[in-house]
Structure 1
Amino acid sequence: MVIHIRQFQWSDYDAVAAVWIAADRDVLPRAELEAKLTRDPELFLVAELGGAVAAVIMGTYDGRRGWILRLAVHPAHRRKGIATRLVDELESRFRQLNCPRVNLLVMPDNTAGLQFWQALGYLPLPDVLCSKPLQVGRT
């Protein structure tokens, strides 16, 4: 079956949400995606099989580093090379932006995910992730 990769369109939202749910990932609300898409919409990609969304990858570029924010493949379509194709296309788009490095986060218990990323040349670093939730909407 032919894999077709293209930029996300708003008409894909329900299908993308279904992939995230099937892959046991949180669904990003429309408002959050709207904010992301004002920055670099060309880095939010879907992969179609037979005209249906089977996988999705979302990246961003801050002018210094590229980030792969999330990758999800519907469980019914795993082990078909779709994730690798999506990563290849996203990396190509990063190169077009003259992005010198791409980062991503893998949860410590995601052994299969870590193996996948390492097979693509992503190396674990001993960095410490620090995070702080911000309250928004308050002045």
Structure 2
Amino acid sequence: MFIIRPYIETDLEDIIQLWERCDLTRPWNNPEIDIFRKAAQKDDLFLVAVKDQFIIATLMGGYDGHRGWINYLAVHPNHQRNGVATALIQHLEKRLIALGCPEIQLLVQKEFIDIQNFYEQLGYDEKEVVCLAKRLIHDH
């Protein structure tokens, strides 16, 4: 079994290692800075799954008053396909509902078909939208 709890400061290095192991880090996003920015919000929507005192999964949730968001869902390869990701998502959804959040969204790169299928099994539908972005702060 595992427990789900909000992020605490001492999780930082373990989370970065997990994200690197899961190939979630990108050159344009400094994971340490992303974690510091999220922790500064103090909204308890950055969740970790812990088993035997080790972080086995993360989910960085957000809520902007209009929509909820899922970012940095990562499950250690040794713990995948055991319900950890589903439990994290369901936990976040409950927290967002309690905040009055009417809708949750996430972005998945087109080539990750397995990840898209996973979310579809949880009731998420693809929306016909164009995602536009502008980098405001260059961390590297």
Q: Show the counterpart of 1:13.
A: 12
* Structure 1 unaligned blocks of 5 or more: none
Residue in structure 1 matched with residue 80 of structure 2 by the alignment: 78
CA distance in structure 2 between the aligned counterparts of 1:119 and 1:133, rounded to whole angstroms: 32
1:73-127, Cα deviation, whole Å (9 max, x unpaired): 0111101100000001010110110100001001100001000000000100110
Aligned alpha-carbon RMSD (Å): 1.6
- Give me the TM-score of the superposition, normalised by structure 1: 0.91
Instruction: List aligned pairs for 1:43-58, cutoff 5 A.
Output: 43-58=45-60
Q: Give 1:29 shift.
A: 3.4
Q: 3-state SS of the aligned residue for 1:91?
A: helix
**Structure 2 gaps, min length 5:** none
**TM-score between both structures, scaled by the size of structure 2:** 0.90
Aligned-pair distance for 1:31? 3.1
Question: 1:40–1:60: 8 Å Cα contact kept in structure 2?
Answer: no
Matched, 1:91 2:93: yes
Q: Could you tell me which amino acid in structure 2 is paired with residue 38 of structure 1? A: A
The number of equivalent residue pairs is 136
Task: Give, in angstroms, the shift of residue 133 of structure 1.
Answer: 1.7
Q: Relative CO higher for 1 or 2, CA cutoff 8 Å, sep ≥ 6? A: 2
Cα gap change, 1:75 to 1:127, in 2 (>3 Å): same
Structure 1 position 3, deviation (Å)? 1.2
Sequence identity (%): 36
